[in-house]
Structure 1
Amino acid sequence: MSIENKIPVSTYFGAMTFDQKAMRARLPKEVFTELQGTIKAGKKISEDIAGAVAHGMKEWAMEHGATHYTHWFQPMTGSTAEKHDAFLSIDRDGTPIERFSGEQLIQGEPDASSFPSGGMRTTFEARGYTAWDPSSPAFLMKGGKDLTLCIPTVFISYHGEALDAKTPLLRSMDAVSKSSIRLLELLGVKGVSRVKTFAGCEQEYFLIDKKFYSERPDLIMCGRTLLGALPPKGQQLEDHYFGSIPDRVLEFMQDVEHELYLLGIPAKTRHNEVAPHQFEIAPIFEEANIAVDHNLLVMEVMRKIADKKGFALLLFEKPFAGINGSGKHNNWSIGTDTGINLLDPGDTPEKSVHFLVFLVAVLKGVYKRADVLRMSIASIGNDHRLGANEAPPAVVTVFLGELLERVLDAIESGKVDLKTEKQVLNLNLAQVPLVNKDYTDRNRTSPFAFTGNKFEFRAVGSSQAASVPNMVLNTLMAEAVDDMSDSIQAKIKSGMDKDSAILETLREEITATKPIRYQGDNYSDALQQAAKDRGLPNLKNTPQALRVLLKKDIQDLFVKYGVLSEQEIHSRLHIRLERYVKGIDIEARTLQLMLKTLVIPDVSEYQGDIGSSFNNLHAAAESIGLSDKALNSQGNNLKLLAENLSTLIDLTVELDEAVEKLEMLETEFDKADYCADELLPLMVTVREVSDRLELMVDRSRWQLPTYSEMLFEH
């Protein structure tokens, strides 16, 4: 154990980041002050300031042992990318020297020819540029024998289009800030220069022994098991959840946390999750763009340390059929740069009014744009997870809890005599009842639940970058806040006093958004019926969800708030469709490979041995006095094995034909629909037969590691 683990975390937290402490120590006072002011205001960095920052950053990085730097960015692949450049340079006289200029800090050119662009550029216009995001601290990442200075950046094309997931997120944060400041001014709040959105991503994951992982082509190629029979014991006894963490896993968690603390990532909670060998790590809240950066780093650090510890990290949403999948609960809130959490009921009348208005704005945004929110978390993995009685369904609803439901109902009806158990918060509106501050979320089935002072978007998939869900949340919130402001202003202009205008707007929106509020069991059939009755979108799979991006009003929404241009919207639609089709194509081809090289040969060999044994038994039956019943029983067993094998061989031929047909389809939507409606169901049928055979074959003859081994052997 290193010395850092024996001393308080606070003494080395962020030691590998060029944070405010490092900046203050390395930069001239006037440079530090101007840089912080520029970051706070969200303005561009001047070249002079950039040059001083670059020098200080290089000196700091080299003192820690860094030899290279990289612009660390988020292309539209769902992960991160980096190209390393050495600090080493050669002077004109041949003298070696380490250099890192302001220009190199501000902008890089990693090329873009092999990154997905969705048609936004042609091959001969393939240049891409990275631009420094000073709001997210640079950091040192361990790899190989040395450290690399990683500079968080955005990634744009030659003509300025966003080629990454981060640029739209930053744009959406600006949009919701502008809209919210306007609403706050209407509510009488002055002096707010920026409204921020915050996030905290609870990351679920599986760990299995690397030796099993290396023997499963499906896990290596696809991230999930395409075959595998359930073990006799799974999660039925609920004995893994919050149970004692195995020592080997705990050591992994401790090493992960240590690396995260060095990177300034505030990991807070670790525990066993519901499924065998499933775990969770959760952070403390941060500003949304930094939280997204940090979650990507969490996944990367876990992957590296798992490998060192002899584990394989599984982040796919549903790596094991019949076993709980993994999510990334995205806790989201909104607050001012003056310290007000706008989703906290608070202890003062002023804050409580803000709370009501912004709470109802969230309801309005989610109700109006539930289809976009569903689109934001659509993926191959999430299609397996959502609605599987372990995760929220594909229907987006909001859970507020009994007390808030009563408060909103009272406001809507105009009642003033509602009594709550604990009257501790006065909302400073005569017509509004007192609110009990001490309430918590009690519905774990809800996809979007209020949890005290924030909303928890539980439908986000474990392998997903959180950029897109947070970008969508910010954008729909900006629109809803503007709509609320427009309504209040219109009422004031018509002669209504401010308090009455606020209350009347609240009443109208509470009534209008009532269909999105659902307090029941989201896993039940009742929710499906409620969605139909209330007209809520129920987008069952990724192709259906992605079609939302074709709607004119959705495109207008992103364009209006400057989050995505029409071209950028179409590019993302194309990229996500392509990734969906390619992902399922890889799964189908991997399944073909496993059937033809592992499963069918294993079963055929075993069938041959059983057949020979049965023939010998049949020949000796009379001499050993074996009854017809016993002989028939063993014959039936062989017959069942042979019939299932024949069925599997026929299905394998059918799968071959289905994969060939996929290649013949023309449009991306045709291919995506075919994958969802034809190919995936066929793969499920194949799996059912293969899994039956797994339970009939001698374990010593079955080459693939089983669920029992992967989930219960450490």
Structure 2
Amino acid sequence: MTQQNFDVTSVARKWRVDAKQTASPSELVNDLFSSDVLTLEQLKTRLSKPAYKSLQATAERGETLDASIADTVALAMKTWAMEKGATHYTHWFQPLTGSTAEKHDSFLNPSGEGVAIMSFSGKELIQAEPDASSFPSGGLRATFEARGYTAWDPSSPAFIIRHANGATLCIPSVFASWTGEALDLKTPLLRSIEALNKAVTPAMKLFGASEGTRVTSTLGAEQEYFLITEEYFYRRPDLVMTGRTLFGAKPPRGQELEDHYFGAIPDRVLSFMTDAEMQLYALGIPVKTRHNEVAPGQFEIAPIFENSNIAADHQQLIMQILRTTARKYGLVCLLHEKPFAGVNGSGKHCNWSMGTDAGENLLDPGDTPSENMQFLFFCSAVLKAVDDHQDLLRACVASASNDHRLGANEAPPAIISVFLGSELTDIFERVVSGKRGAGKAAGLMGLGSRVLPEIPVHAGDRNRTSPFAFTGNKFEFRAVGSSQSISFPITVMNAIVADAVSQLTAELEKKLKAKDATLDSAVAAVVSETYKKYERIVFNGDGYSDAWHQEAEVKRKLLNLRTTLDAISTLDSKKNVELFGKLGILNERELVARQEIMYDIYFKTINIEGETTEYMAQTQILPAALGYLAELGEIEVKSKAADGITKEVVGLSDQLYTALQALRKQNEALGGDEVHEKAHHMRDHVLPAMAKVRDAADGLEKVVSAKHWTLPTYRQMLFVK
């Protein structure tokens, strides 16, 4: 008999938990939290007072690292790591692949006569030398130019990564070429944090902040993901090779009943979540929330706010831990933005704000936002930043995978706009009109039963279709994709707000020089002028509606960069080169290199998808259809049903074969020699050809006997847990 699609019940029951590898939920979180992190507090007991003070100044206040303390810190780090069971160390960094990289070295050093010692020097701590030509460089490094450096980032604490047979000390680092250009995502992020601090502190002085106040950006990134049974994953070449399903007919039930969202978490999944959370707690990652997401098989984990450079490191660790832990439960974690067509995709909502080292959130409106002129000043700077740099915000989330997600199923459209909500919009409009006043009040809501409490109501609703939404004391950038590093989006947000704050601070200083000017009147004037100029970027309505797209493009003249190639083509514009250059975040070569890498990744991603589509259609889907036709041909007693099914399968098979030949030609063509030409060929020719192959294949899935259809279906992958 033709291979059938295996026993679904067996797949559902196959998973088992290995008690030796599973973290115990009974461990006290307080004892577990940061237990595998070398915090400053722990270093305080291991370093001399001067060495500790010097390192603290670098880590917390951004002061220049004193290289003379490196040996002392390295010894303390090695001793701590060995106490934790580590035998190796690695400089852990974020190359331009979007993931992380590590090269492990042992603490072991032979000392002669068959004896070895465990050593780790300050020189080894500060710098290592991986091969720079083996990572994406966008032309900054030729293949024969191999030298590159990792350098210790003391602003992010070292940590331990454990495996079944030991542990490794991970030293957060940056990565640069021999010529000094940044080859990673972390270096520009750190530069952008410093640029934001330099831009905002002069404004803070005008508002009465004490001397030495330091400002940084903060971030909390919600991570959405799918879980499917491991056996199904490995029976789907498209999932293995591309991270998404290239074929799959819509099942009778998807997310229409809206019963999965916030539903009871399946025991198997909850066990996985608990295990992952325990590992993340040990790494000092403050995960707070877990729940079922909208699509069947989709879930979410979310940490609370941290300084954005730490949040970027932690976000990479969250993705790593989710992937590795899922396998222990017979599951695979899918982080692709759109692994299944027709249901919600996965995003990574980045909740961004600014805060001082004294703990003040500069985007917290307080109880009386209409009177909080400092808040209105910084909020208006964000509006200016988003309007001035719509292109950058779209480009920093651009990828072939995110193109499938943006614009539907709770993912924002490609048009960048800001949701302020009714209360805040009303306050800004009152400032413009000169009326001021409190605006709309929030109040309490009764729930119709005396036993239920009255609950406080926000003065404004939320908007799930907005790319950039104000959500109480932060802005939520909802367009970030679930699989991407958050470092570049944070870098862009820091940069554009730094630029806007600098310009508005200059305006404020001018107005304060006027006769009879007060801080309140000067700020009100700046806020009023800024809002009038940039109110076109504010939209509180339905971002999916055709009317909004028409209004945004025609009336408001907002950008609509629909695809990745539309978006990344703007990266090297004169405006953007000048922005990153004057802030000292990326020079022109570094910026153009990132653009080239994005083109290259886009081309390679779709090229892999196109060839995988061709392979699966040729070797799995067509044979399934032809096998079924052969079986139908063996039916001795002809019937209308057999004749009808035969005609339908023949028609769809011919349609698939024709589409497959067209796709093969496009896959072979590639579109040219330059990566830009290849990328556009993928978008304009390969993707449409893939869609036609899928259309015919998904039609066949609905009519070919399950006995012949060997690919796990959406019904199985999304619902069998």
Q: TM-score, normalised by structure 1?
A: 0.94
1:213 aligns with 2:233: yes
Deviation at 1:688, TM superposition (A): 1.0
Unaligned runs of 5+ in 1: 425-435, 619-630
Moved more, 360-369 or 439-448: 439-448
Match of 2:364 in 1: 344
Match of 2:531 among 491, 496, 510: 510
2:650 to 642, 651, 666: 642
Deviation at 1:386, TM superposition (A): 0.1
Deviations 1:620-673 (A, max 9, x none): xxxxxxxxxxx44532321111011011011111000011121x4133222222
Q: Distance in 1 between matches of 2:439 and 2:575?
A: 42
Equivalent AA in structure 2 for residue 544 of structure 1: D
1:681 and 1:350 mapped to 2: Cα distance?
Answer: 51
Aligned partner of 1:694 in structure 2 is 701
List per-residue Cα deviations over 1:190-244 (Å, max 9, x = no partner). 3243101000110000000000000000000000000011110110000100000
3-state SS, counterpart of residue 607 of structure 1: helix
Q: How far 1:252 sits from its partner (Å)?
A: 0.1
1:419 Cα deviation from its structure 2 partner: 4.6
In 2, the alpha carbon distance for the partners of 1:480 and 1:168 equals 18
Q: For the Cα contact (< 8 Å) 2:370–2:436, is it kept in 1? A: no
**Corresponding residue for residue 712 of structure 2:** 705
**Equivalent AA in structure 2 for residue 547 of structure 1:** S
User: 2:281 maps to what in 1?
Assistant: 261
% identical aligned pairs: 50
Amino acid at match of 1:372: L
The answer for the alignment partner of 2:580 in structure 1 is 558
- 1:5-25 superposed Cα distances (whole Å, 9 cap, x missing partner): 324301221000101232123
Query: Is contact 1:694–1:702 with CA below 8 Å preserved after alignment?
Result: yes
1:521 and 2:529 matched: no
Distance of aligned partners of 1:214 and 1:520 in 2 relative to their CA distance in 1, 3 Å threshold: same
Report the residue type matching 2:655 in the other structure.
T
Where 2:634 maps in the other structure, the secondary structure is: helix
- Report Cα offsets for 1:288-331 as digits up to 9, x if no partner: 01001001000001111111111011000000010110000000
- 2:453 aligns with none
Q: Distance in 1 between matches of 2:600 and 2:314?
A: 27
Written as runs of structure 1 = structure 2, the 5 A alignment for 1:123-522 is 123-346=143-366, 352-416=372-436, 419-421=439-441, 438-439=458-459, 441-495=461-515, 497=517, 498-522=519-543
1:511, distance to aligned residue in structure 2 (A): 0.4
SS in 2 for 1:156: strand
Pairwise CA distance, 1:188: 2.9
Kept in 2, the 8 Å contact 1:389–1:523? The answer is: no
- The separation in 1 between residues aligned to 2:574 and 2:35, in whole angstroms, is 48
Distance in 2, matches of 1:334 and 1:38, equals 20
Shift of 1:500: 2.4
Which residue of structure 1 lines up, in the alignment, with residue 667 of structure 2?
Answer: 659
Change (3 A) 1:286 1:648: same
- My pick for the range that moved more, 562-571 or 482-491, is 482-491
Matched, 1:29 2:49: yes
Query: For the residues of structure 2 that align with 1:38 and 1:351, how far apart are their CA atoms?
Result: 36
Question: For 1:517-540, what per-residue CA distance to the aligned partner results, in whole angstroms no more than 9, with x for missing partners?
Answer: 001011211221121120111000
- Over 3 Å counting, the alpha-carbon distance change for 1:3 and 1:309 in structure 2 is closer
Alpha carbons of structure 1 residues 387 and 674: separation in structure 2 relative to 1, 3 Å: same
Work out whether residues 373 and 520 of structure 2, in 8 Å CA contact, stay in contact via their aligned partners in 1.
no
What amino acid is aligned across from residue 528 of structure 1 in structure 2? H
Gaps of 5+ in 2: 1-18, 445-455
Residue identity opposite 1:573 in structure 2 = Q
Code of the aligned partner of 1:674: H
Distance in structure 2 (CA, Å) of the matches to 1:56 and 1:343: 39
Residue type matched to 2:120 in 1?
F
CA deviation digits over 1:360-412, x for unaligned, max 9?
00011001101110000001111000002331000111111111011001111
Aligned match of 2:683 in 676, 687, 694?
A: 676
Change (3 A) 1:347 1:27: farther
Measured in 2, the distance between the counterparts of 1:155 and 1:283 equals 26
**Aligned counterparts of 1:417 and 1:410: Cα–Cα separation in 2:** 7
- After superposition, the Cα gap between the structure-2 partners of 1:134 and 1:437, relative to the gap in structure 1 and judged at 3 Å, is farther
> What corresponds to 1:591 in structure 2?
613
Could you tell me how far apart the structure 2 residues matched to 1:418 and 1:37 are? Answer: 42
Cα RMSD of the aligned pairs, angstroms, is 1.9
Equivalent positions of 1:545-624 (< 5 A) are 545-613=567-635, 616-618=636-638
Partner of 1:433: none
Structure 2 contact 442–459 (Cα < 8 Å) conserved: no
Relative to structure 1, the CA distance from residue 350 to residue 162 in structure 2 (aligned partners, 3 Å threshold; closer, same or farther) is farther
Residues of 1 paired with 2:91 and 2:406: CA distance?
A: 35
Paired amino acid for 1:637: I
Asked whether the 8 Å contact 1:198–1:286 carries over to 2, the reply is yes
Deviation at 1:94, TM superposition (A): 5.0
Alpha-carbon contact 1:448-1:458 (below 8 Å) kept: yes
3-state SS of the aligned residue for 2:132?
coil
The alignment's TM-score, normalised by the length of structure 2, stands at 0.93
CA distance in 2, matches of 1:119, 1:103: 29
**More deviation, 120-129/298-307:** 120-129
CA contact (8 A) 1:372 1:548 kept: yes
- Whether the aligned pair in 2 keeps the contact of 1:344 and 1:352 (CA below 8 Å) is no
SS at match of 2:344: coil
In 2, the alpha carbon distance for the partners of 1:181 and 1:221 equals 48
- C-alpha contact (below 8 Å) 1:439/1:452 kept by paired residues: no
Q: Report the Cα offset of residue 135 of structure 1.
A: 1.0
| 2:40 equivalent in structure 1 | 20
Distance 1:218 1:407 in 2: 51
Correspondence for 1:68: 88
Residues 1:45 and 1:31: Cα distance change in structure 2 (over 3 Å): same
Q: Classify 1:351/1:202 alpha carbon distance in 2 versus 1 (closer, same or farther; 3 Å).
A: farther
Q: 1:167 to 1:419 in 2, by over 3 A?
A: closer
Once residues 82 and 687 of structure 2 are traced to their aligned partners in structure 1, the CA distance between those partners, rounded to angstroms, is: 51
Report the residue type matching 2:675 in the other structure.
E
CA distance in 2: counterparts of 1:633 and 1:482, whole angstroms: 74
SS of 1:193's equivalent in the other structure is: coil
Matched, 1:543 2:551: no
Which secondary structure does the structure 1 equivalent of 2:570 belong to? helix
Letter of the aligned partner of 1:707 in structure 2? Answer: Y
User: What CA distance in whole angstroms lies between the structure 2 residues aligned with 1:47 and 1:335?
Assistant: 29
Confirm or deny: 8 A CA contact 2:255 2:294 kept in the other structure: yes
- Does the aligned pair in 2 maintain the 1:440–1:452 contact within 8 Å? no
Deviation at residue 494 of structure 1 after TM alignment: 4.5
Shift of 1:189: 2.4
Letter in 1 for 2:687: L
- Inter-partner Cα distance in structure 2 for 1:184 and 1:550: 32
Residue by residue over 1:257-313, the C-alpha shift from the partner in whole angstroms, topping out at 9 and shown as x without a partner, is: 000001111110000000001000000100001001001000001111111111011
